[in-house]
Chain A
Amino acid sequence: MMIKNNDNVSPYQIAMIIIMSVISVGVFSIASDAADAAGTDGWLVIALAGALNILAVVIIVKLNSRFPGKTFAEYSQIVIGTILGKILTFLFAAYLLLVIAYVTRAFTEVIKIFLLFRTPTEVIMLSLILVCTYIVRGGVECIARINELIFPILFIPFFIVLFFGLPLMDFSNLLPVLQTPADKMLTAIPSLIFSFGGIELALFYIGFMKNPRKAYKPAIIAVLFITLFLVMVTVFCIATFGKNATTQFLWPLVNYIRAISLPGLFIERLDGVILSLWMLTVFTTIVSAYFIVSYSISKVVGTKEQKQYVLPLAIIIYYLALQPDSLAELYEWGAAIFPYAITSFLYAVPIILLLIAKLRKLGVR
Chain B
Amino acid sequence: MGFFSTKRSGKAKVENEMGKLLNSKSIEENTERLKDRLRDCDDIVYKEFRVGAEQSLKFLLVYTDGMSSRDMLNDAVLNALMIHAREVPPDATEPGEELYRLVRYGGLPASELADNDNLEDAILAILIGDAVLFIDTTEKSIIIGAKGWPMRGVSEPNTESLIRGPRDGFTETFRVNTALVRRRIRDHKLKLKQMRVGKRSFTDVGVMYIEDIVKPELVEEVTRRIKTIDIDAIIESGYIEQLIEDNYMSPFPQINVTERPDEVAASLYEGRVAILVDNSPFALIVPTTLNSLFQSPEDYYDRWYVATILRSLRYVASIISLVLPALYIAVTSFHPGILPAKLVISIAAARQGIPFPALIEAFLLEVTFELLREAGLRLPAPIGSAIGIVGGIVIGSAAVEAGIVSPIMVIIVAITAISSFSIPSYSLSVGFRMLRFSLMVFAGVLGLYGIMLGVLLILSHLVKLKSFGIPYMSPYVSSVGSDFKDTIIRVPSFLMGRRPLTIARNTVRLKNNRHLINQMEREGDNDDKK
Residues of A in contact with B (beta carbons under 8 Å apart): 1-4, 10-13, 111, 115-116, 119, 123-124, 127-128, 131, 134-135, 138, 142, 144-146, 148-150, 266-269, 271-272, 275-276, 279-280, 283
Contact = CB atoms under 8 A, between A and B. Distances in A.
Given A148-B476, A149-B476, A271 B338 contact: yes
A188 to B, nearest CB: 35
Which 10 pairs across A and B sit closest by C-beta, in order of nearness? A135-B460, A145-B477, A12-B479, A10-B479, A2-B469, A138-B464, A145-B463, A268-B340, A2-B221, A146-B463
B468 interface: yes
B220 interface: yes
A134 B463 contact: no
A2 B217 contact: yes
Contact of B469 (A3, A12, A13, A115): A3
Contacts of B304: none
A115 B448 contact: yes
Contacts of B217: 1-2
Interface residues of B, number: 34
A142 B463 contact: yes
A144 B340 CA distance: 39
Given A1-B221, A275-B449, A269 B479 contact: no
B452 interface: yes
Given A131-B456, A149-B476, A124 B449 contact: yes
Interface in B443-483: 446-450, 452-453, 456-457, 459-464, 468-469, 471, 473, 476-477, 479
Interface in B405-460: 446-450, 452-453, 456-457, 459-460
B463 to A, nearest CB: 4
A148 B479 contact: yes
Contacts of A127: 446, 450, 453
B337 interface: yes
Nearest to A287: B460
Interface in B330-353: 334-335, 337-341
B486 to A, nearest CB: 17
Given A149-B463, A149-B477, A269-B337, A1 B452 contact: no
Contacts of A144: 477
A339 B447 CA distance: 35
B453 A128 contact: yes
12 contacts: A1-B217, A2-B220, A115-B449, A116-B449, A127-B446, A127-B450, A135-B460, A142-B463, A145-B477, A268-B339, A271-B337, A272-B338
Given A1-B220, A115-B334, A146-B463, A272 B448 contact: yes
Contact of A275 (B339, B448, B456, B457): B448
Question: Main SS of chain B's interface residues?
Answer: helix
Interface of B: 217-218, 220-221, 224, 334-335, 337-341, 446-450, 452-453, 456-457, 459-464, 468-469, 471, 473, 476-477, 479
Contacts of A10: 479
Given A145-B471, A276-B452, 4 more contacts: A2-B469, A115-B447, A131-B453, A279-B456
B502 to A, nearest CB: 12
A149 B469 contact: no
A111 B338 CA distance: 15
B447 A131 contact: no
A268 B460 CA distance: 30
A272 B469 CA distance: 37
A118 B482 CA distance: 48
B289 to A, nearest CB: 12
A115 B471 contact: no
A69 B456 CA distance: 30
Nearest to B344: A268
A144 B479 CA distance: 10
A269 B335 CA distance: 11
Contacts, number: 97
A269 B338 contact: yes
Given A268-B341, A275-B448, A150 B459 contact: yes
Contacts of A271: 335, 337-338
Contacts of B452: 275-276, 279
Nearest to B462: A149
A270 to B, nearest CB: 9
Contacts of B334: 115-116
Nearest to B339: A268
Contact of A116 (B337, B338, B447, B468): B447
A135 B446 contact: no
A273 to B, nearest CB: 9
A10 B462 CA distance: 19
B339 A135 contact: no
Contacts of B464: 135, 138, 142
Contact of A115 (B335, B339, B463, B476): B335
Contacts of B459: 146, 149-150
Given A149-B477, A267-B339, A119 B446 contact: yes
Nearest to A10: B479
A290 B450 CA distance: 21
Contacts of A279: 449, 452, 456
User: Which residue of A146, A266, A280 has the most chain B CB atoms within 10 A of its CB atom?
Assistant: A146
A131 B460 contact: yes
Nearest to B327: A272
B123 to A, nearest CB: 36
A111 B471 contact: no
A269 B344 CA distance: 13
Contacts of B337: 268-269, 271
Contacts of B457: 131, 134
A13 B338 CA distance: 35
A72 to B, nearest CB: 23
Contacts of B477: 144-146, 148-149
A21 to B, nearest CB: 16
Contacts of A128: 453
Contacts of B461: 134
Nearest to A124: B449
Contact of B460 (A12, A119, A146, A148): A146
Q: Of residues B449, B459, B476, which shows the largest number of chain A Cβ atoms within 10 Å of its Cβ?
A: B449
A3 B220 CA distance: 12
Contacts of A145: 463, 471, 473, 477
Contacts of A124: 446, 449
A146 B477 CA distance: 8
Contacts of A150: 459
Contacts of A146: 459-460, 463, 477
Contacts of A131: 453, 456-457, 460
B339 A116 contact: no
Contacts of A266: 339-340
Contacts of B218: 2
Contact of A138 (B335, B448, B449, B460): B460
B331 to A, nearest CB: 8
B456 A138 contact: no
A1 B215 CA distance: 11
B348 to A, nearest CB: 15
A339 to B, nearest CB: 30
A340 to B, nearest CB: 32
Contacts of A2: 217-218, 220-221, 468-469
Nearest to A127: B453
A135 B450 CA distance: 17
Contacts of B449: 111, 115-116, 124, 275, 279
Contacts of B469: 2-4
Given A128-B453, A272-B448, A13 B479 contact: yes
Contacts of B338: 267-269, 271-272
A56 B447 CA distance: 41
Contact of B446 (A13, A116, A138, A149): A116
A115 B336 CA distance: 10
Contacts of B476: 148-149
Contacts of B339: 266-268
Nearest to A16: B479
